[in-house]
Structure formats: C-alpha cells, structure tokens
C-alpha cells in the first residue's frame, strides 16, 4: 500500500472516530438548542450563522444547509459584524456561532451587543470552559481528541466535527418544521435535485390522441402498425372502453418464436394483463425507480387514474431527458 493511501485512511479514521465521539456526547443541550431556534423562528426570527477563519467557512456551509432545508438562515462574517453588519441581527434571531477556541476576539466582542438586544446565542465550540461557552444560551461540545493533521495543528478533525454537528442541527430542525420534498424542490428551482422532485408523472406522460390503442381481437400486424405509428415502445389493449393490458416491443419479439402462427396471433394473446403501473400525481423520479428497480427493467409504464383506467404512458426516454 502506498504511503499516500495509508495517510488518507489514517485521516479518515481519525475524523470518523471524532464524529462518533461527538455523537456519544450529545445530550439534552442539543434538544434545548433545537427548541430555542424553533421558538424564535416561529416568532418570525431567523438563524444568523457566524464564525472566523476555517470555522467561518464551516458556518457558511451550515447556513446554506439550514436555509435550503426549511430554517430561515444567513451567514454573517464575524469580522464584518463589528463594523456595521451586526445590524442584520434582530432581537428575535438566534446567533449560531462556530468557534473551536471559543475565545476569538471577533466573536467574544459581539456578545455584549447581542445580549443587549435580546438575541439568543447557540455555540458549537471546542472548549467548553471558554468565554463563548459560558456566555452562550446553549453550548454544544465540538471538541476533538486530536486533529487529523500529522502535526496536530491544521483544523481538520475539529472542522469535520463542527460541520457534522451543524448538519445534525439542520436535519433536526428540518424535521421539526415538517420540511417535505415539495418544499425542497421549491427552494431549488434551478438545480438538478429540484427538477427531480418537481416533476410529476402527469407532467411528462404521453396522453390523449398520442396513446397507441388496439382492441383485444386486433391481429399482430395491426399491433405492429400501431406501435410503429405511435413510436412509444408499447401498445395499450382494451376490451370495448376498458383497458385490459399492455404489449411492449419485447412482447412482440418474444412472440416471434411462434413462427408458424405469428401473424394469426391477436393482441389478447400477446399482452400482459394487469401490468405494473403508476399514478399521475406520483413524482416522476418514482416512475424512474419503478422502471429500474426490477429484476428485469422496463422502458415504458402505464399511468392509471383512481379507477384503474389507463390515461397515459410514460417512457424511460421521457424521464431521462428531464430528470
């Protein structure tokens, strides 16, 4: 094994152990932090995240995660806060501070002004005996046994644990605010994740006159002609007005083994009765999962309404281009 690979595994092992240790230290203070933020947000407050140095960079990421998962949040650089930007912090807000030492001058210097305006303070801190930990309304223990840096100097384990605690806080708040997929999609209209959650099957399915219908008594040449004309990779079969089955291109190919009577076969003999289907209000990404998560994958899926009537067809091709 190369020395680089050995070092990489050592770093990941050290950081993983530090995260697990932080997990085991979690106690009622975490619940208190969540309760405090929920209370303030319900009073039209927000979370203002701050920090300096590497802790500030972690704070900026956590602020983005909070905002995208249902908790109103923004990032405030601690150094700029003391030069006027502190005005963004309102009395009903919660200041979430990331500081490993708990004694950074830029952070400690903000505390009196925040206390005076009634802003609550939650700290993720590495030194639980620091000024910041003592003055915070809630302090969460982000200490580590050592940094993953071979010199035990560069912030590595400490920033990893801070990020993990910030993510844990974000997800706990998301759960408390009952944040759902549709909320996530509305917060990410321009991203791939948002698109995957935004589209419903009804948005992408083929319907109406585009659908390839044949009767159960239709001979195989009519089935092939309909499949060729509509080019959806399948044909829908009905008995009168009732949908009774689906014939895919694969079904037609498999029927070729009946060489002598192939052109005498009728739709009812080719079709799959009661094929797997999906509702129009399901997420389009769910249709993709249904097609792919099978022992034998399928490329077309009937869409049925609440009465079990087929109202559309959605193809793998329709989904791939949009999701």
Do 288 and 174 belong to one domain? no
Question: Is this prediction's pTM over 0.95?
Answer: no
Q: Are residues 37 and 146 in the same domain?
A: yes
Final residue of a domain: which of 115, 145, 179? 179
Q: Is residue 118 part of a domain?
A: yes
On whether both 153 and 230 belong to a single domain, the answer is no
| 86/164 same-domain check | yes
Residue 52 domain-assigned (yes or no)? yes
Q: Are residues 305 and 237 both part of a single domain?
A: yes
CATH number for the domain including 315? 3.10.580.10
In whole angstroms, give the CA distance from residue 15 to residue 249.
52
**pLDDT of 26 strictly over 70:** yes
Give the residue-averaged pLDDT of 301-316.
93
pLDDT in tens, 36-70: 999 999 999 999 999 999 999 999 999 999 998 99
The pLDDT of residue 27 is 97
Q: 307 in a domain, yes or no? A: yes
Q: Is the pLDDT of residue 195 over 80?
A: no
pLDDT at residue 172, as a whole number: 96
One domain for residues 48 and 124:
yes
Pair 232, 269 in one domain: yes
% of the chain surpassing 90 pLDDT: 70
> Is 104 inside a domain boundary?
yes
Among 147, 179, 211, identify where a domain stops. Answer: 179
Confidence of residue 187 (pLDDT cuts 50, 70, 90): low
Contacts of 44 (CB under 8 A, 6+ apart): 92
**Mean pLDDT, all residues of the chain:** 90
Q: Which domain holds residue 95?
A: 3-179
The better pLDDT of the pair 295, 43 is held by 43
Exposure string (b/e) for 182-206, b if CB count within 10 Å is 16 or more? ebbbeebeeeeebbbbbbbbbebbb
- 187 assigned to some structural domain: no
Same domain, 119 and 11: yes
Predicted local confidence at residue 255, as pLDDT: 87
Q: What is the pLDDT of residue 186?
A: 63
Specify the number of domains making up the chain: 2
């Amino acid at each position: 094994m190369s020395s680089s690979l050995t070092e990489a595994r050592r770093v990941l092992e050290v950081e993983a152990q530090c995260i697990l240790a932080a997990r085991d230290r979690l106690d009622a203070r975490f619940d208190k932090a969540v309760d405090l933020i929920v209370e303030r947000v319900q009073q039209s407050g927000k979370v203002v995240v701050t920090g300096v140095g590497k802790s500030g960079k972690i704070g900026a990421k956590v602020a983005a995660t909070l905002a995208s998962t249902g908790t109103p949040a923004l990032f405030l650089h601690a150094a700029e806060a003391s030069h006027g930007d502190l005005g963004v912090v309102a009395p009903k807000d919660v200041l979430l501070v990331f500081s490993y030492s708990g004694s950074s001058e830029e952070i400690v210097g903000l505390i009196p002004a925040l206390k005076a305006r009634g802003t609550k303070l939650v700290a993720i801190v590495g030194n639980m005996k620091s000024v910041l930990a003592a003055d915070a309304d809630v302090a969460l223990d982000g200490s580590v046994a050592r940094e993953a840096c071979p010199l035990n100097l560069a912030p590595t384990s400490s920033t990893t644990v801070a990020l993990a605690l910030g993510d844990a806080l974000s997800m706990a708040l998301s759960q408390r605010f009952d944040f759902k997929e549709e909320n996530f999609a509305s917060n990410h209209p321009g991203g791939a994740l948002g698109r995957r959650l935004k589209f419903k099957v009804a948005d992408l399915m083929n319907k109406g006159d585009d659908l390839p219908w044949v009767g159960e008594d239709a001979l195989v040449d009519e089935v092939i002609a309909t499949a060729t004309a509509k080019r959806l990779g399948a044909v829908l079969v009905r008995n009168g007005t009732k949908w009774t089955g689906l014939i895919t291109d694969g079904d037609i190919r498999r029927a070729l083994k009946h060489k002598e009577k192939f052109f005498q076969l009728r739709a009812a003999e080719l079709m799959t009765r009661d094929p797997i289907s999906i509702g129009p209000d399901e997420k389009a990404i769910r249709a993709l999962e249904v097609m792919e998560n099978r022992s034998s994958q399928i490329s077309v899926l009937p869409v049925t309404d609440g009465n079990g009537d087929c109202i559309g067809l959605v193809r793998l091709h329709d989904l791939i281009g949009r999701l």
